[in-house]
Amino acid sequence: MSTYIGIDMGGTKTLGIVLEQGKVLKSLRKKTSRENVASFVIDLIKTLKGNLKITGIGLAVPGTLNEEKSALLISNNVRELQGIPFKKMLSEKFRVPVKLENDANCFAWGEFLYGAGKDFQNIAGITLGTGLGSGLVLNGKLFMGCSGCASEAGHNIVRAGGIKCTCGNKGCWEQYASSQFIKRTTGLNPKTLYEKAKKGDKYALRIWKYYGYWLGIGLADIANIVDPEAIIVGGGISSAWQFFIEEADKTFRKTTFSPISSNKIKLLKAKLNLTAGAMGAASLFRL
């Protein structure tokens, strides 16, 4: 029986799991260390592994990998991860195969295999958090493009000449549909704004509606290019789903070019949500 470890590294938190036959046997979530990242990851894997015999390790990382998929080339939101030779380091340390993949790709793969996307063959996965990630599963396979860098929808330009993004461009979707938008607009973090909205705060409700508008604009871009069966939305901000989905759905369906796509594509909340990336990472050996 094959047993895998999956690690999902985020800008704020890192989740590690042990996966066997699609079941999570063990999980551990810790604040992401930015001081000694290599030791942090190794210690997390050691704790998860214990005395278990591990078949392989999958690592979901926030950014663009090098061509060999052995290290993170670019990570605008967690620059401390760039250049660390994770694949070589972990395979030598634990003597098992190691695979790395973009965290949003892992999210989409996890939801496709085990979550809200398991009844479809063509999905887009969107993660809403510190940044905005996206991944595609097309015809039942994780789509990564000719150089492995496909589906960076967070850096689609939705407002030409708009807010400067961490990538250096202006008007990226990430600047209008991630926590960066909420913090910049309100001075609050998404969790606080969510709590205010739950209490009926009119300002909070208005901001979430405006957030939903920008989310819908970017979702329509995905529909126009890919035409998936479903778009699955997860990440920490999706906790506030009830406050932004109505506006997001309305804008998405109004802005999508094809009325057929507009009517047929489903917008779904992730079922696995915070565990999807780690489960997807642990399941990279199924690719």
Show the tokens assigned to 121.
């063959």
Q: Please give the Cα distance from 208 to 128 (Å, whole number).
A: 13
Write down the residue that tokens 């991630």 correspond to. Answer: 178
Of the chain, the percentage scoring pLDDT greater than 70 comes to: 100
Mean pLDDT of 44-53: 97
Show the tokens assigned to 205.
């409700």
Q: Please give the Cα distance from 56 to 60 (Å, whole number).
A: 14
Instruction: Judge whether 132 and 174 are in contact, CB under 8 Å.
Output: yes
- For the chain, what's the residue count? 287
- Whether residue 76 is predicted with pLDDT greater than 90 in this model: the reply is no
Give the neighbor-by-neighbor strand order of the sheet with 23-31.
23-31, 13-20, 3-9, 56-61, 98-102
Query: Residues 125-153: pLDDT tens digits?
Result: 999 998 999 999 999 999 999 988 899 99
Q: Please give the Cα distance from 177 to 161 (Å, whole number).
A: 16
Instruction: Judge whether 222 and 124 are in contact, CB under 8 Å.
Output: yes
C-alpha 193 chain-centroid distance = 21
Residue 214's pLDDT band, with cuts at 50, 70 and 90, is: very high
Q: Please give the Cα distance from 256 to 266 (Å, whole number).
A: 13
Q: Please give the Cα distance from 34 to 40 (Å, whole number).
A: 9
pLDDT at residue number 130? 87
Question: Which residues on neighbouring strands pair with residue 102, listed in sequence order?
Answer: 61
pLDDT at residue number 192? 98
Q: Please give the Cα distance from 90 to 106 (Å, whole number).
A: 18
Residue 1's pLDDT band, with cuts at 50, 70 and 90, is: confident
- Whether residue 234 is predicted with pLDDT greater than 80 in this model: the reply is yes
Query: Residues 171-211: pLDDT tens digits?
Result: 999 999 999 999 999 999 999 999 999 999 999 999 999 99
pLDDT at residue number 77? 76
Averaged pLDDT of the chain? 96
What residues have CB less than 8 Å from 278, skipping those under 6 apart? 6, 7, 8, 15, 16, 17, 19, 27, 60, 106, 110
Domains and CATH numbers, the chain: 3-105+275-286 (3.30.420.40), 120-270 (3.30.420.40)
